[in-house]
Structure 1
Amino acid sequence: MHGEDTERPHDGGDSATGGGGSPGYRHDALVYDDVDQLTAIAAPWLLEGLAAGDAALIAAGPATTGPLREAVGRDPRVVVVERHTLYRARTPSAITAFRRFAEEHAAPGRRLRVVGETDYGTTAADWREWQAYESVINAALARWPLWGLCVFDAALPAPILDSVRRTHPQLVTAAGRTVNADFLDPATYLRTLPVPDDPLEATEPALDDDVSDHTRLRHAVRGLLGTVDGPDDVLEDFLMAVDEMTSNAVRHGSLPAGLRLWTAPGRLVATIRDSGSGLDDPFAGYGPAHGDDLSHGGMGLWLARQLCDHVAIRRGADGVSVRLSTSWS
C-alpha cells in the first residue's frame, strides 16, 4: 500500500519549549499503589500549576477523580472531564480533543496540566490500540502546550505496565520527577509493538475477493453488511473504512491485492492486503497525510482509525495488510 496516509506527527520531547517558543508537551507517568499515594503527588502538582498560571484538567476514572477533586479543594479552576469522552473515543479523536483543550485553556506561554488515566479496555486489540496511542502522543502533541501526568494503578496487567515504562519519557514518584531510562523512541516502539492475531482470522471468511474491480467489490461488501444484525451507523462506518482501504490498495498498492471480511455476532473484522512495501511510517493514520489542509486528500487511514475500534498494520515479505475491526453490544 502506498504511503499517502502516512503523516508523521511532529517530533518532540521534554524540552521546555516547542515550536514558536511556546511551551511544548511533557509526558510523565505515575504508577500508584493506592489513591492516597496518587492524590499526595498529583494534587500538589495541579495546585502548583494553577499558582504558576497553568490551567488544570482531570480526565480519569471515578475512583480517581473524586478523591483528587477533594484533594484540590474542589477548586473551580480545575476542569473535570469524563474520561470516556476522551479515552474510549478512537485514538485520533483523543489526540484532537487534547489539542483542543490545550488551545482553549492554556494561557499564552503556559501549559494545560492534565491528570489523565487511560482506559486500556479488555481485549488484546484494545490494549494494543492504547499502548500505541501512549507512544504516538509524544510526537502528535509535541507542539501543544500540554503537560500530561498519566496515572496508572500498579495492579494493571504486566504488559500494560511494561508499555507505560516504554512510552513515557519521565517518571514521577513521591521523590520527584526523573528521566525514564526505559523510554523508547516512539518510532522504534511502534515498529516493535506486536499485532495480536484476531481469532476470527483463523476461520473461513464471509467474503474473500480481489480488489481489482473496486466498484463491484464495494457492492459485494455493502450486500454482505446488509445481512449483519448490527447498528446502522456502525455498519456504515465499517463500510466506509473498508472502502477507503480498498481504494488505497487499488490506487496506490501493488497487485495482487485482496480483501477478506469476517462477521460474527457483535463483531466485524476485515483485512485489506496488497503486495507492496508502503505504509512503513509507524505514525500512519494518526493525522491526515497533508496536515490541516484536507484539500490534498491523504485521509484514508486517518478516517479508518476514526471509523473502526481497531486498525492494525502488518508488514511482511509478501506485502502489507491493514486489519480493521469493530464491535457492538
Structure 2
Amino acid sequence: MTGQSAVARTRPPHRYLHDALLYDSPAELVDIAAPWLLEGLAAGDAAVVATSAATADVLRDAVGGEPRVHVLERGDVYRARTPTAITTFRSLAEQRAAEGISRVRVVGEVDFGPTERDWLEWQRYESVINEALGGWPLWGLCVFDTQRLPDPLLESALRTHSHVLDGDGGRAPNPQFTEPAAYLRSLPVPREPLEETVPRLEAGDVADFIGLRHAVAAELGTVDAPRDLVEDFLLAVDEMTSNAVRHGGPPVSLRLWVGGDRVVCTIRDRGPGFDDPFAGYGPAHGDDLSRGGMGLWLARQLCDHVDISAGEHGVAVRLTVRLG
C-alpha cells in the first residue's frame, strides 16, 4: 500500500467523532441520548435519529417532539450494503452544510442482521467509518442495547468507538478502542461451505475474458432471482476478474457456485496482493471517478459480502449475494 488509503483522501477539513452508548434500559438511553441531542441543537448542530422505530419513538417523546430533531428511517440510512451507508452519511453532512449548519449529530443504531455472517459486515463498518468519515462534520452516537444484543457485538462496539458516554452522560476515552486498521485485520474471513463443493463453473486460467463473461452470464441466467440482482452480481464478477487480470499475477482463476439461498464466486490470482483494509469503502482515487479504481468499491455495493484473503499463494476475492 502506498500513500493514504482511498477513504482518507476524500476528507474535507473537519473532524468526525464516533462515540458509543451501551445502555441497559430505555430510561438510561433517554437520560443520556436525549440531552445529547438537545445540547447539539443549542450549539447550532443539526440533530438526527437513525434507529429502530422503537428507539426513535422513545427519543422523540423524550425531546418533547422537538421538530428540529429529524427522525430518519433506519433502512434509508443503514442500507443493505455498508459503502452505501457511508455515502448516505456524507450526503447528509453535505446537505446540512449547504443550509449553513456546521455539524450534524446522529444517534445511530445499526441493524446487525440475524446471523454472525451478517454481523461481520457491520462490525467492519463500525471500524471503517472512523477512517471513511474521519474528516466529515458529523458526530455519531451509536447506541447498543445490552439486554438484546449478543456479547460479540457488544465487545465489537467497544473496540470500534474511540469514546463512550457513561451513565452520567459524561464522555470519556475508551481504553478498549482498537485502531481501525488493526481491528479490521483481526477479523476473520468466514468459511464458505459452498467452496467445499463442486463449482457450477470453473475456469483455471482466464485468457478469454469475454468468453468467460458469457459463460458466467449463462450460469447466472439459470438462477431464480430478480434480474437486477443477477446483473449486479455479474457486474461485480466482471470488475473483480478484470482487476485480477490487470493488477494481479497469472494465472487468474474463477469458480462459481449456486446454492439454494446464495450465489458465490471466488476469483484468485498469483499477485503480491495489497495491504489496505479500507480498500473498497471509497473509490481508489477519491472523488475523481474518471481515474477509475472503482472495481472493489462497486463490488462492495453490489454484493452482500466481499471477502479478501491474501497469502503467499496470491489473492482471493470472494463475492456473495443472497437470492430473493
Same fold (TM over 0.5): yes
* Matched pairs, number: 319
**Which secondary structure does the structure 1 equivalent of 2:188 belong to?**
coil
Match of 1:225 in 2: 220
- Structure 1 window deviating more from structure 2 (257-266 vs 140-149): it is 257-266
**CA deviation profile, 1:194-240 (whole Å, cap 9, x unmatched):** 11112222221111113222111101100000111111000000000
Q: How does 1:80-229 map to 2 (within 5 A)?
A: 80-106=71-97, 108=100, 110-154=102-146, 155-175=148-168, 176-210=170-204, 211-229=206-224
Match of 2:7 in 1: 9
TM-score (norm 1): 0.93
**CA deviation profile, 1:243-288 (whole Å, cap 9, x unmatched):** 0000111111101221111101231111111111223210100001
The answer (yes or no) to whether the contact 2:200–2:255 under 8 Å persists in 1 is yes
**CA deviation profile, 1:73-107 (whole Å, cap 9, x unmatched):** 11111111111122133111100100111111246
Note the aligned Cα RMSD (angstroms): 1.8
**Which secondary structure does the structure 1 equivalent of 2:267 belong to?**
strand
Q: 1:151: how far off? A: 0.3
The answer (yes or no) to whether the contact 1:11–1:142 under 8 Å persists in 2 is no
Q: Are 1:54 and 2:45 counterparts?
A: yes
The answer (yes or no) to whether the contact 1:28–1:170 under 8 Å persists in 2 is yes
Counterparts of 1:294 and 1:281 in 2: how far apart (Å)? Answer: 19
**Which secondary structure does the structure 2 equivalent of 1:171 belong to?**
strand
**Which secondary structure does the structure 2 equivalent of 1:10 belong to?**
helix
The answer (yes or no) to whether the contact 1:59–1:82 under 8 Å persists in 2 is yes
Match of 1:30 in 2: 21
Counterparts of 2:319 and 2:110 in 1: how far apart (Å)? Answer: 22
Match of 1:234 in 2: 229
TM-score (norm 2): 0.94
Counterparts of 1:226 and 1:7 in 2: how far apart (Å)? Answer: 37
Match of 1:287 in 2: 282
Query: Any unmatched runs of 5+ in structure 1?
Result: 13-17
Higher relative contact order (CA 8 A, sep 6+): 1
Counterparts of 1:303 and 1:125 in 2: how far apart (Å)? Answer: 20
Counterparts of 2:117 and 2:128 in 1: how far apart (Å)? Answer: 16
The answer (yes or no) to whether the contact 2:109–2:144 under 8 Å persists in 1 is yes
The answer (yes or no) to whether the contact 1:11–1:139 under 8 Å persists in 2 is no
Q: 1:7: how far off? A: 4.3
Amino-acid identity (%):
61
Aligned AA (1:183): F
Counterparts of 2:294 and 2:141 in 1: how far apart (Å)? Answer: 31
The answer (yes or no) to whether the contact 2:6–2:286 under 8 Å persists in 1 is no
Counterparts of 1:251 and 1:243 in 2: how far apart (Å)? Answer: 12
Q: 1:125: how far off? A: 2.4
Aligned AA (1:8): A
The answer (yes or no) to whether the contact 2:189–2:309 under 8 Å persists in 1 is yes
Aligned AA (1:233): D
Aligned AA (1:156): L
Counterparts of 1:91 and 1:19 in 2: how far apart (Å)? Answer: 21
Q: Are 1:305 and 2:305 counterparts?
A: no
Q: 1:108: how far off? A: 4.9
The answer (yes or no) to whether the contact 1:7–1:285 under 8 Å persists in 2 is no
Q: 1:131: how far off? A: 0.5
